């Protein structure tokens, strides 16, 4: 199974390593699914973790990014998407999912992305919905 994790899912995992996202990362580490990201997602993750709101020090930001990079494949979108007008940067997440040929886009973005339900055949689910649907034992 091929999935894309939205930046907010990685942030959630960084803030709560034993939280609801942990089983998804464990499944990837076990080779039971493949996680894809783009350079946009990695850059957004770096900015978010270093922001005053999150406040990770530079060493923790680097360590978190290194950990993420160990368990993902990076794709660079070649198709531009303009499906979300309220926040254009959310289109970059959809572009990554398209380029990765993802089965599922996992997001905590309840305002712009999750309400789509699906995008060009890609299911859009929260982390809990994803686990409940595809890996109910987790």
Look up the CATH number of the domain holding residue 46: 3.40.50.1010
pLDDT at position 129 is 94
pLDDT at position 48 is 96
Contact 36, 74 (CB under 8 A): yes
pLDDT at position 52 is 94
Residues 17 and 8: their CA atoms lie apart, in Å, by: 14
Phi, psi of 135 (to 5 degrees): -140, 65
pLDDT at position 138 is 65
Lowest mean pLDDT, pick from 14-28, 58-72, 77-91 = 77-91
Contact 82, 47 (CB under 8 A): no
pLDDT value at 93 more than 70:
yes
Residues 31 and 57: their CA atoms lie apart, in Å, by: 31
Domain count, the chain: 1
Compute the mean pLDDT over every residue in the chain, rounded to the nearest whole number: 92
What value does the mean pLDDT take over residues 33-52? 97
Q: Which domain holds residue 82?
A: 2-134
Confidence of residue 4 (pLDDT cuts 50, 70, 90): very high
Instruction: Provide the whole-model pTM.
Output: 0.92
């Amino acid at each position: 199974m091929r999935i894309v994790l939205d930046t907010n899912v990685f942030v959630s995992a960084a803030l709560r390593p034993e939280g609801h996202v942990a089983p998804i990362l464990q499944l990837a580490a076990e080779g039971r699914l493949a996680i894809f990201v783009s350079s946009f997602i990695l850059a957004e993750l770096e900015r978010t973790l270093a922001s005053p709101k999150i406040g990770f020090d530079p060493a923790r930001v680097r360590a978190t990014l290194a950990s993420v990079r160990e368990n993902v494949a990076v794709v660079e979108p070649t198709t531009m998407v303009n499906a979300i007008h309220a926040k254009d940067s959310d289109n970059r997440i959809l572009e990554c999912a398209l380029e990765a040929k993802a089965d599922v886009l996992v997001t905590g973005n309840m305002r712009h992305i999750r309400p789509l339900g699906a995008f060009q055949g890609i299911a859009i689910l929260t982390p809990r919905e994803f686990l409940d649907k595809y890996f109910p034992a987790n």
